[in-house]
Amino acid sequence: MADTKVLLDMIQDEDDLPEWLETKITKAGDYMSSAARYIAGTVARDQGQLEEGVLNEICEVDDYFNLYESLQDAVDENGNIPCPQCLYETIVDADCGCPDVLEEAKYKGKKVQLNKPKRGGSKKFYVYVKGCAKDKSRVTKVSFGDPNMKIKKSNPKRRKSFRARHKCATAKDKCTARYWSCKKW
């Protein structure tokens, strides 16, 4: 902290600092704010001020843990993993309520995999989903994504902006293009 005060005394607003020095000062400020957020979060956790959303996530983790235990039971004593069909049956029997469990169904006379996005179609991606129409047993095709735009997931700023713009935190209906776009990002 003493170094910070000395540095602030040396720097004036009108000073023209080299770019590398400005970068270092900016990074140091970012590190300080990250540390402050971490400490504030730790204090909040210690005082028991967990948010409701975190409690819901804990419940979801508990459901996934039950699925994990079922999958552990599928592995035999020697550590051998069962065939994919047996593993699939174990997952279905565990019934964790996951919408992402892959199934096969018929769509316009051909067998398709449910809940697995693929490239192509009228948009950049498409996915077959069951239960979106009035008849809950019907399979529908959901197309999503702009075919002319590149996906740049590796850029955190673009990713954050996309997720905020599309309100990905509230996208729960797997029958919408928004849900699948958010899942892809």
* Residue 58: per-residue pLDDT: 60
Residues 45 and 90 in one domain: no
Mapped onto helix, strand or coil, the DSSP state of residue 153 is coil
Confidence of residue 83 (pLDDT cuts 50, 70, 90): low
The answer to whether 93 touches 70, Cβ cutoff 8 Å, is: yes
Q: Are residues 67 and 29 in the same domain?
A: no
- Domain-located, residue 8: no
- Pair (135, 63) in one structural domain: no
Please check whether residue 27 lies inside any domain of the structure.
Answer: yes
Name which residue leads in pLDDT, 138 or 99.
138
Residue 87 structural domain: 51-98
Q: Is the full-model pTM beyond 0.85?
A: no
Predicted pLDDT at 55: 54
Residues 88 and 110 in one domain: no
Identify whether 59 is part of a domain. Answer: yes
Per-residue confidence band for 26, with pLDDT thresholds at 50, 70 and 90: confident
Instruction: Give 119's pLDDT tier (boundaries 50, 70, 90).
Output: confident
Q: For residue 1, is it within any domain?
A: no
pLDDT over 70 at 14, yes or no: no
Lowest mean pLDDT among 55-59, 81-85, 159-163: 55-59
> Rg of the chain over CA atoms, in angstroms?
25
Please enumerate in sequence order all residues whose Cβ is within 8 A of that of 183, keeping only pairs 6 or more positions apart, or say none.
Answer: 117, 171
**Averaged pLDDT, 56-76:** 60
161-184: average pLDDT: 86
Position 45 scores a pLDDT of 66
Residue appearing with tokens 């996309």: 162
Q: How many domains does the chain divide into?
A: 3
Position 22, amino acid: E
Is residue 102's pLDDT more than 60?
A: no
CA-CA-CA-CA dihedral for 16, 21, 27, 32, to nearest 10: -80
End-to-end CA distance of the chain: 40
Tell me, yes or no, whether 85 and 63 share the same domain.
Answer: yes
DSSP 96-138: ---TT---EEEETTEEEEBT--EE-SSSSEEEEEES-SSSTT-
pLDDT at residue 92 greater than cutoff 80: no
Cβ contact 131:175 at 8 Å:
yes
- Of 109, 121, 126, 122, which is closest to residue 184 (Cα–Cα)? 126
pLDDT of residue 105: 73
